[in-house]
Amino acid sequence: MRKLFLITVVLILTCTGFAQSRKNEVGIQADNDSFLGQGSDRYYTNGIFIYYRHALKVSEGGTKLKNKVLGFEAGQKIFNPQSGSIPSVDYLDRPFAGYLYIGSTLNFLYSNESNLKFGAQIGVVGPGAGGKEIQEDIHKWFGFYPPTGWEHQVHDGAELNLSAEYNKLLTRGNGIDLTFNSYGNLGNGFTGAGAGLMLRAGNFNQLFNSVSTQSTASNIDSKSALHQHEFFAYYKPALNYVAYDATIQGSLFNAHNNPQEVTLDREPFIFSNQIGGAYTANHWVFDVSVIFHSKDVKQMVQLHQWGSVTVLYRF
C-alpha cells in the first residue's frame, strides 16, 4: 500500500508539472465558407491545416525573451470562382487553384509583450496540390453538386515562401487591450505585407503566452498568467498589400502557354476584418472566427468571407 501511495503521489506531481508547463501542443484548423450557413461556395472555399508546436527552453538569466516556440505545420487551401461549378469560362472571376505545403515557424516572445515570428513554407500550386480531387470528394461525401471548371486551374509550380510577423502591445486596461499587428511575405508564391490592429475584450493572457500569438505552448508556469483560462472576444482589422499571389497569377517562373489555364491579375490592396473568440481550458485551446475580405481580383462579382475553427491539445 505504501509503495502504491508513493507511486500515485509521483504520478500526480508529474501530471501537475506537465499541466503547468504544457510545452507541446498539436491540433487542427479548418476554414470553409459553408461554416457561415449562407450556402456560398466561392473564392477561398476550403482550408485544412495541422499544427505541432513545442516550447523551447529559455535562459533563466534572460530578462527580455520570455517564451520561444518552434512550430511545424502542413496545410492545403482551395480556391474557385463565384461557384465551384461554372457553365463557361466567362464566369471565371477568380482562378481555380489549390495550394499544398509543409512549413516551420520560430516564434520569439518578449517580456514587453512584443513578438517576432519567422516562417518558411515549401509547396506546390496547381494540380499537384490536389485541390480538384479534394473538392470533388467533399462534394460527393456531403451530397453537393459536382464541381466543374477545374480544367482551367492554375498549372503546377513549386513554391518557396518566407514570412515574418511582428506584434506589439499598445495599451491595456479594464479587461480590454489593443495590439499592433504586422507581417511580410516573400517568395515565388506569395509576396506582400500588411498591418493592422487587434482589440481583445475579456479574460486574456499576456502576448507571450496566449492564443493570440500562437504561444499557448510554453515553459511558463500557468500560475503566473493573468488568467488560468483565456476566454475573450477579438476584432482584427488589417490593410494588406499583395505584390504577387500564385493562386491568382499562376506560378511566377513558369510559362503560361496552356490555352486552358486561366490566370488573372490581383488587386494590390485588400482590406480584411476578422471577428472571433478564443477559449483555453486546461489542455484544450479553441479559436473560432469569421473573416471578411475585400476583392482579391477586380473581376470578382462579390466580396468573400469564411469561417475558421481551430482546436489544439496541449501536453
**pLDDT tens sequence across 199-219:** 999 999 999 999 999 999 998
pTM to 2 decimal places: 0.90
pLDDT, residue 2, reads 44
pLDDT, residue 37, reads 87
Per-residue model confidence as pLDDT tens digits over 158-207: 999 999 999 999 999 999 999 999 999 999 999 999 999 999 999 999 99
pLDDT, residue 12, reads 37
Question: Is there a contact between 80 and 135 (Cβ–Cβ < 8 Å)?
Answer: yes
CATH architecture for residues 22-314: Beta Barrel (2.40)
- Least confident among 147-161, 205-219, 246-260: 246-260
pLDDT, residue 1, reads 44
Q: How far apart are CA 291 and CA 20, in angstroms?
A: 33
- Least confident among 14-18, 106-110, 161-165, 302-306: 14-18
Overall average pLDDT of the 103-125 stretch: 97
pLDDT, residue 21, reads 65
Q: Is the pLDDT of residue 50 over 80?
A: yes
pLDDT, residue 276, reads 98
Question: Is there a contact between 104 and 72 (Cβ–Cβ < 8 Å)?
Answer: yes
pLDDT, residue 222, reads 64
* Mean model confidence pLDDT for the chain: 91
pLDDT classification of 17: cutoffs 50, 70, 90: very low
pLDDT, residue 4, reads 40
Overall average pLDDT of the 52-79 stretch: 92
pLDDT classification of 9: cutoffs 50, 70, 90: very low
Domain ranges of the chain: 22-314
Q: Is the pLDDT of residue 313 over 90?
A: yes
Q: How far apart are CA 56 and CA 219, in angstroms?
A: 8
